[in-house]
């Protein structure tokens, strides 16, 4: 069984900033950060 990866608060804020402030789509930002787009969507909410 795989272990869950934990992300720092800074990483999450930077990821959300890509979507909210810099105009990236969720899928583009997630792909560039190598994370799941649905997870990024939860962070944006």
pLDDT tens-digit series, residues 1-45? 778 889 999 999 999 999 999 999 999 999 999 999 999 999 999
Predicted local confidence at residue 1, as pLDDT: 76
In total, how many domains does the chain have? 1
Predicted local confidence at residue 25, as pLDDT: 96
* pTM greater than the 0.85 cutoff: no
| Domain of residue 35, residue span | 9-44
Residue 2 maps to a domain: no
Predicted local confidence at residue 29, as pLDDT: 96
Residue 26 maps to a domain: yes
Residue 1 maps to a domain: no
Q: Closest Cα to residue 5, out of 33, 44, 41?
A: 33
Residue 30 maps to a domain: yes
């Amino acid at each position: 069984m795989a272990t869950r990866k934990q992300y720092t608060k800074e990483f999450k804020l930077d990821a959300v900033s890509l979507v909210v402030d810099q105009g990236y789509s969720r899928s583009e930002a997630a792909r560039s950060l190598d994370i799941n787009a649905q997870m990024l969507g939860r962070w944006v909410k």
